[in-house]
Amino acid sequence: MATKPFIKKMSARGNAAVLSVVLAVLSIFSVLFLYYTQNSFLEAFEAKTYDLRFKDLRGPIRPNPDIAIIAIDDKSIAELGRYPWSRDRYAHLLDRLAAAKAKAVIFDAFFPERENAAHDRLFAAATKRAGNVVLGVAFDLDKSGQVKAITRSLPEIERGAIGVGHINQLPDDDGVIRRIPLMIEMDGKQVPSLGLMGAMLALGEKEFVPGDFNIGLGKHRIPVDAEYRMWLNYVGGPGVYPRYSFTDVMHGRVPAAELKGKILFLGATALGIYDMRVTPFHGNTPGVELHATVADNIISERYIRQSGIEALIDMVFIIAMGGVAFFLTTRLHQSRAIPATVVLLAGYLWFTTYMFGAGHWINMIYPTMSAIVAVLVGGSFRYLVLERSAREMRSMFSSYLSPKLVARLEKDPESARIGGDNKEVTVLFTDIKGFTSFSEAHPPQEVVSRLNGYLGAMVQVIEQHDGTIDKFIGDGVMAYWGAPLAQPDHASLAIACLKAIDKRMGELRAQWQAAGLEPFTIRGGVQSGEVVAGNVGLAGKKMEYTVIGDTVNQAARLEGTAKYYGVAYLVGDDTYRRTRDICRYRELDKIRVVGKQLPVTIYEPLDGLSMLDAEAAKRFAAALVLYRTREWDKARDAFGRVLDVAPEDKPSRIYIERCEYFAQKPPAADWDGVFNRSEK
């Protein structure tokens, strides 16, 4: 009989494990299905990762040094006049390039109309003499990619060229050009692109052979898709290839040695000619540079491949990423599972970036989506099935305990018992100056609204500095560090929080003043020491985790004492000793509060928390020494010198009054310099 609960428990765990596996498989195969069907929405995101990898991850690379651009640029238009130019200028250009022994001249242009007989003949003759000229043709394609019409140069000009190449550049749906058709078929004849023609001339190949997802060019195998489009492996942004101004070349201003042996693409780079394309690197890239990129990729064999091997890798990672992320989410707590999944994704993104640099386009979106879906499904499974008891604990205590304490109680429910421990903490009390008068002078709705805004800002700052908010006392806030979880640097955290609170209050005051509202000013007290910390109340009815003890009382009284001295913040001696290396203070006084025999030294934090500058603080410290050695006249004058540089310093005025009083009625011989506070 004793084995039945055990068997029942094991059965429940087994069912949960089976359900976990089923959910993991379903989530992964849903992503595989989207990948197989090439979901257009997700494919658009993947295309953007193609751009991202070029511009932001890989960056520019070194172009082929044998490729350059003859630019129809603004300088040439300024010198030669409005474009298009007379064809005799092209003839002069070709003669210059022939003399310089350029390897090939590839026109990203065509000449379909007659200019005049003399100039047409001159250009045709120069083209034939050069013996290395390729002219462009343009196809008009329908939606299915079939050729409807062709635009080409005059027959007599085209006969002088060694070949033609199409200039068609087809952007994706978002306008970015990521691939170019290397050949277009018309009337049973395959016409290569200008870039492919440039590569053929550079490699000395006269023919290309279309194959299955590749084009053969001698020993080269160029990867293409089913429509013979090649993914462009962009070298860089506009201007990555050397540019020679058309007019400079025509007028012989470019040394022949710079042009010798070069594959020269001639095309427009001037913005006014409107031959600009959108690429991953830039939104205005001259179209001629895309043809040069094609030639560069083929010559250098720097391709971007997205073939069957890459697809297989994609599917393997869709399964692996989803499976690992699901395992992490269902086996680890959320605080560990999410960072682990982030690390997993970061590693995968690094891998895809590395592979892209090696020429393989590995999918980013689908494996990442597989991991994210697995985290969502696995997290939901964990929430609904595996964390039921933790949720029950959270629902019992989260309404009045801090999130950190709730997390500890989830791991250790026994710590929820009534009782307490001695802990070293730092306690902070803050209060709004004159809030009672403000409340009486304003409508209740405005009072509550302003108070909520202030308290909300305080909560954010305290939680950002790992503090626990104990309670709101009207317009006051009590917070502490060092409990329920030990924090060795609790005093430092409290002082850092005090600085952040003061900064945030400055921002709020500026906002209130800009809105025409009366601003709030606060004061605060901080003290460190031992307290009793634990749950107090009635089990099952009302419990509250809090800290109690003399340290709490001192912090509260320091906040009230700040009003007497006219300063914003006061810090007790224990906090001072723990934080004097990270914050400057001025010793303000030694006081004995109501109900206590032992005196407490109090300090005002500086470093932006006080209006007192360094010189005033130095003078105050010197005056305080004179005061405690009973040199009343000298001390009074010294405090007066503090007021010379800090006229609003109330502590100095208080000490001047004391000096004048003691000068008339000296204290007893055993006077210890302590001021007895008669108010709390």
* CATH classification of the domain holding 511: 3.30.70.1230
Domain presence at residue 540: yes
Domain presence at residue 622: no
Q: What length is written for the chain? A: 680
Are residues 421 and 377 located together in one domain of the fold? no
**Neighbour tally for 30: CB within 10 Å:** 15
Are residues 521 and 466 located together in one domain of the fold? yes
Name the amino acid, one letter, at 267: G
* Residues in the chain, pLDDT under 70: 1-20, 330, 333-334, 379-419, 538-543, 594-596, 677-680
Domain presence at residue 641: no
pLDDT for 398 equals 55
Domain presence at residue 93: yes
Q: Of 502, 535, 555, which residue is a domain's last? A: 555
Kindly give the pairing relationship between strand 179-181 and strand 229-231. antiparallel
* CA-closest candidate to residue 107, choices 82, 126, 79: 126
Domain presence at residue 428: yes
Indicate the SS3 state at residue 219. Answer: coil
Kindly give the pairing relationship between strand 476-481 and strand 468-473. antiparallel
How far is residue 265's CA from residue 242's CA, in Å, rounded to a whole number? 11
Are residues 247 and 114 located together in one domain of the fold? yes
For residues 651 and 588, the answer to whether their CB atoms sit within 8 Å is yes
For residues 236 and 54, the answer to whether their CB atoms sit within 8 Å is no
Tokens encoding 209? 């052979």
* CA-closest candidate to residue 91, choices 62, 54, 120: 120
Are residues 362 and 487 located together in one domain of the fold? no
Are residues 238 and 378 located together in one domain of the fold? no
Domain count, the chain: 3
Q: Of 500, 535, 555, which residue is a domain's last? A: 555
Find the distance separating the first CA and the last CA of the chain, reported in whole Å.
Answer: 67
Domain presence at residue 216: yes
Query: Which domain does 312 fall in, by range?
Result: 3-37+307-386
* CA-closest candidate to residue 157, choices 67, 237, 88: 88
- With vertex at residue 98, the alpha carbon angle to CA 95 and CA 99, rounded to the nearest 5 degrees, is 90
Are residues 204 and 342 located together in one domain of the fold? no
pLDDT for 12 equals 41
Are residues 319 and 292 located together in one domain of the fold? no
Are residues 444 and 312 located together in one domain of the fold? no
For residues 592 and 676, the answer to whether their CB atoms sit within 8 Å is yes
Query: What is the helix (H) or strand (E) element at residue 110, kind and residue range?
Result: none
Are residues 283 and 171 located together in one domain of the fold? yes
How far is residue 570's CA from residue 593's CA, in Å, rounded to a whole number? 14
Task: For residue 267, give Cα distances in angstroms to 60, 110, 181, 258, 272.
Answer: 22, 10, 19, 18, 13
* CA-closest candidate to residue 305, choices 229, 206, 391, 367: 229
Domain presence at residue 57: no
pLDDT for 311 equals 87
Span 315-363, pLDDT tens digits: 999 888 888 887 777 677 667 777 888 888 899 899 988 898 888 988 8
Domain presence at residue 203: yes
Tokens encoding 99? 């003399």
Are residues 273 and 132 located together in one domain of the fold? yes
Are residues 191 and 295 located together in one domain of the fold? yes
pLDDT for 678 equals 59
Q: Of 555, 590, 613, which residue is a domain's last? A: 555
* CA-closest candidate to residue 676, choices 565, 590, 588, 553: 590
Are residues 170 and 239 located together in one domain of the fold? yes
